[in-house]
């Protein structure tokens, strides 16, 4: 998942010596060293697994180069390939999918290069050994990076870990908006430590924007960054920050060890839809329109139905056990069919295992005053209408498994916005109604980001972000994260 505000980095040089952000740089280098050690260990194990799987206890034959030489050379070249693909660049570490893409690309390109070189030079290294080593190594590298990132994210949530110390520059309203955006996702690693606003807004006494101290004006941005130990200056919108002044700011930050990033006003647009093209010296950002139909949509539909069919077949014993448990626990039907609104505003009946008493809808009016969420949804952490079995099913999201049938029927997708009630849709404004441009999903960004713990505004924001920027790769990522969200059971009630 990407941050709601696009941060476009403009790197500055980093001389030695004491400089702003030295502590952050030290923490960054320590994290990179950990990654190098992890990568080395993973590759050593992968090469050993490849050797044992191919030869076992047998003595390799037919190779002019002994494998006691091949193994360390392969490991070294693999690490060099990772370095060449900038897999240790701090701009991709710790957040976003680019780190994983670079790791895979480095491994696949090296595998292809070795295959071509081996064919041309007619070196007798076993193809099976190489194939197994690269398969195990690539998967291992991705898993190690994932584990390291999760540990880093937990540290950042606790206020530690390696994070960039950010000085935000811009008009008051835009500074507050950017601060809110960066704090909404603390695991991204941008810790706001101060702000600079226009001269006209400065007061003779120290100011704060929320809990962010105002440390200067546009006239002394480099000095302000030095004073508070910031290693990154994030520039957001302001009428006084012209292209010329922004260019001069970049010159002023050269050699200070402080990075310059620019946060355009364009928000909630993912990388694949954004292309930067230089025109007359300006880096114009071209934004492609969202894709709501076409070949990729057909592929998505085929994948959805195929996976749902396989899942229904494999999970049929579990579904039968849950159905029996519901029947024993309380009177009423096993399945609950509720009218929801799907793509294009078409209504359909969504299937769920019944988790409430049979007269739950009639009791809703009595509980309306105890609603614990804002917006149009009703959520209550200790809802008295939920049965004993229902609480267990909701905790692990097992009540939603029958929706696989809705996916198979083409009414829903595996990944998409939350399927709304007709009463909710009746009160949608023009922006929120864009959720109906795609099929609703069994899971989505709302589920992997907190489920019922999310505010109505945040839930809608995530749904609209998905609608505008969906992709098959993003769907697979969300499906993977769904397992973790279910196991944590955060926001499930």
What is the average pLDDT value for the chain, to the nearest integer? 83
Quick check: 17 pLDDT over 60? no
In this predicted model, which residue has the larger pLDDT, 233 or 23? 233
Q: Is the pLDDT of residue 347 over 90?
A: yes
Per-residue pLDDT tens digits for 134-151: 999 999 999 999 999 989
pLDDT at 493 over 60: no
pLDDT tens by residue, 322-334: 999 999 988 889 9
Tens digit of pLDDT for each residue in 198-244? 987 788 888 899 899 999 999 999 999 999 999 899 999 888 888 88
Tens digits of residue pLDDT in 432-446: 888 898 999 999 988
| pLDDT of amino acid 295 | 83
Amino acid 362: pLDDT: 61
**pLDDT above 90: residue 365:** no
CA distances from 58 to 45, 53, 130 (A): 19, 11, 17
Please answer whether residues 53 and 60 qualify as being in contact, where contact means their C-beta atoms are separated by less than 8 angstroms.
no
Higher per-residue confidence, 203 vs 173: 173
Using DSSP, state whether 198 is helix, strand or coil.
Answer: coil
Measured distance CA(90)–CA(116) in Å, rounded: 32
Positive or negative, the Cα torsion across 161, 163, 165, 166? negative
Is 80 exceeded by the pLDDT of residue 292?
no
User: Taking the CB of residue 342, how many other CB atoms lie within 10 A of it?
Assistant: 21
> In this predicted structure, what is the pLDDT of residue 368?
61
Percent of the chain topping pLDDT 70? 84
Cα–Cα distance for residue pair 52/30, rounded to 1 Å? 33
Six token digits for residue 61? 């034959």
Closest CA to 259 of 432, 7, 431: 7
Which pLDDT does position 367 carry in this prediction?
Answer: 62
Domains belonging to the chain, first-starting first, are: 22-158 (no CATH), 164-266 (3.40.50), 295-488 (no CATH)
Task: Give me the pLDDT at residue 350, please.
Answer: 94
User: Is 466:413 a contact under the CB 8 Å cutoff?
Assistant: no
């Amino acid at each position: 998942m990407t941050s709601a505000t696009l941060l476009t980095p403009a790197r500055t040089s980093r001389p030695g010596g004491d400089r702003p952000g030295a502590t952050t740089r030290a923490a960054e280098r320590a994290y990179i060293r950990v990654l190098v050690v992890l990568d080395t260990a993973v590759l050593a194990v992968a090469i050993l697994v490849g050797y044992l799987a191919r030869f076992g206890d047998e003595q390799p034959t037919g190779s002019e180069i002994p494998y006691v030489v091949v193994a360390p050379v392969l490991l070294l070249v693999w690490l060099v390939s990772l370095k060449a693909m900038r897999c240790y660049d701090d701009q991709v570490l710790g957040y976003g999918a680019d780190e994983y893409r670079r790791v895979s690309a480095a491994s696949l390109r090296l595998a292809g290069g070795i295959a071509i070189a081996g064919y041309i030079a007619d070196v007798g290294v076993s193809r099976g050994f190489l194939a197994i080593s690269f398969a195990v190594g690539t998967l291992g590298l991705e898993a190690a990076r994932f584990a390291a990132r999760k540990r880093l994210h937990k540290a950042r949530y606790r206020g530690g870990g390696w994070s960039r110390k950010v000085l935000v520059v811009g008009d008051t309203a835009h500074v507050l908006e950017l601060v809110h955006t960066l704090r909404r996702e603390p695991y991204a690693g941008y810790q706001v430590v101060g702000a600079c606003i226009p001269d006209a807004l400065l007061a003779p006494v120290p100011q704060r924007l929320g809990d962010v101290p105002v440390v200067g004006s546009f006239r002394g941005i480099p000095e302000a960054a030095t004073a508070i130990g910031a290693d990154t200056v994030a520039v957001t919108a302001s009428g006084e920050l012209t292209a010329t002044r922004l260019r001069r700011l970049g010159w002023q930050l050269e050699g200070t060890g402080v990075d310059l990033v620019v946060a355009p006003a364009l928000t909630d647009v993912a990388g694949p839809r954004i292309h930067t093209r230089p025109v007359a010296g300006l880096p114009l950002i071209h934004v492609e329109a969202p894709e709501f139909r076409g070949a990729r949509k057909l592929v998505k539909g085929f994948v959805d139905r195929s996976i749902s069919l396989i899942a229904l077949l494999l999970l049929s014993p579990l579904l039968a056990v849950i159905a029996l448990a519901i029947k024993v626990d309380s009177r009423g039907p096993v399945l609950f069919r509720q009218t929801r609104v799907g793509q294009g505003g078409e209504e359909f009946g969504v299937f769920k295992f019944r988790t409430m008493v049979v007269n739950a809808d009639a009791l809703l009016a009595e509980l309306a005053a105890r609603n614990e969420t804002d917006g149009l949804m009703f959520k209550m952490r200790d809802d008295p209408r939920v049965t004993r079995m229902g609480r267990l099913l909701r905790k692990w999201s097992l009540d939603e498994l029958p929706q696989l049938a809705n996916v198979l029927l083409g009414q829903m997708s595996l990944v998409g916005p939350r399927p709304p009630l007709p009463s909710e849709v009746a009160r949608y404004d023009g922006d929120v109604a864009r959720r109906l441009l795609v099929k609703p999903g069994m899971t989505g960004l709302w589920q992997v980001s907190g489920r019922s713990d999310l505010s109505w505004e945040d839930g809608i924001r995530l749904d609209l972000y998905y609608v505008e920027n969906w992709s098959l790769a993003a769907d697979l990522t969300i499906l993977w994260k769904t397992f973790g969200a279910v196991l944590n059971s955060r926001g499930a009630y």
